[in-house]
Amino acid sequence: MAAETTITTPPHVVFLPYAMASHITPLVHIARIFAARGLRVTVIATTHNALLFQSSINNDRRLVPARNISVLTVKFPSDEVGLPDGVENFAASSSPEIAYKIQHGFFFLLRKPMERLIRELNPQCIISDMFFPWTVDLAEELGIPRFSFQPCSFFTHCVWHRLEEHEPHKKVASDSDDQSFSIPGLPHEIRMKLSEIENYFIGENFFKKILKTIKEAELRSHGIIHNNCYEVEPQYSDMYVKIRGRKGWHIGPTFLFIDELEKSQNLKELTKNVGSDCLNWLERQQPNSVLFVCFGSSVRFSNDQLTEIALALKSAKCPFILVVKEQEDEKVDSTYGDWWQLDCIKEMAADNNKCFIIKGWASQVLIMQHRAIGGFLTHCGWNSVLEALTKLLELLGLGIGVGTDVWNPGFIVTSPVISREKIELAIKRLMFDSDENRNIRANAKLMAEKVKRAAEDGGSSHLDLNALIDEIKCCAN
Give tens-digit pLDDT for 286-334.
999 999 998 877 778 888 888 899 999 999 999 999 988 765 554 445 5
Q: How confident is the model at residue 259 (pLDDT cuts 50, 70, 90)?
A: confident
Rounded to an integer, the average pLDDT of 469-473 is 96
Give the pLDDT score at 175: 64
Q: Which residues is 193 bridged to in the sheet?
A: 180
Rounded to an integer, the average pLDDT of 339-354 is 77
Residue 388 DSSP SS3: helix
Give the pLDDT score at 336: 67
| Distances from the Cα of 325 to the Cα of 83, 237, 298, 329, 414, angstroms | 20, 35, 10, 11, 19
Rounded to an integer, the average pLDDT of 127-153 is 95
Of 132 and 385, the structure prediction assigns the larger pLDDT to 132
Rounded to an integer, the average pLDDT of 103-126 is 96
**Are 444 and 398 spatial neighbours (Cβ–Cβ below 8 Å)?**
yes
Residue 147 DSSP SS3: strand
Of 326 and 188, the structure prediction assigns the larger pLDDT to 188
**Most confident range, picked from 4-13, 340-349, 382-391, 463-472:** 463-472
Give the pLDDT score at 386: 31
Give the pLDDT score at 391: 65
Q: Which residues are catalytic?
A: 23, 129
Lowest pLDDT segment from 51-65, 120-134, 412-426: 51-65
Lowest pLDDT segment from 101-115, 313-327, 340-354: 340-354
Rounded to an integer, the average pLDDT of 358-387 is 72
Q: How confident is the model at residue 107 (pLDDT cuts 50, 70, 90)?
A: very high
Cα 145 to Cα 36: distance, rounded to the nearest angstrom: 21
Rounded to an integer, the average pLDDT of 247-260 is 88
Give the pLDDT score at 456: 94
**Most confident range, picked from 62-71, 150-159, 211-220, 324-333:** 211-220
Please give the model's pTM, rounded to 2 decimal places: 0.87
Cα 239 to Cα 237: distance, rounded to the nearest angstrom: 5
- Residue 23's Cβ-count burial label (10 Å; 0-12, 13-18, 19+) is buried
Of 18 and 151, the structure prediction assigns the larger pLDDT to 18
Strand 40-46 and strand 320-324: the pairing is: unpaired
Q: Which residues is 40 bridged to in the sheet?
A: 12
Lowest pLDDT segment from 334-348, 369-383, 451-465: 334-348
- Prior bond of 253 cis (ω within 30°): yes
CB atoms within 10 A of CB 255: 17
Residue 290 DSSP SS3: strand
Cα 475 to Cα 172: distance, rounded to the nearest angstrom: 49
* DSSP H stretches of helix in 350-419: 364-368, 386-395
Q: Which residues is 356 bridged to in the sheet?
A: 321
Cα 166 to Cα 161: distance, rounded to the nearest angstrom: 9
- Torsions phi, psi of 218, nearest 5? -70, -30
Give the pLDDT score at 270: 47
In the predicted structure, residue 272 carries a pLDDT above the cut 50: no
386 closest CA partner among 426, 414, 362:
414
Give just the sign of the alpha carbon dihedral 459, 462, 468, 471.
negative
What percentage of the chain carries pLDDT values higher than 90? 49
Average pLDDT, the chain: 85
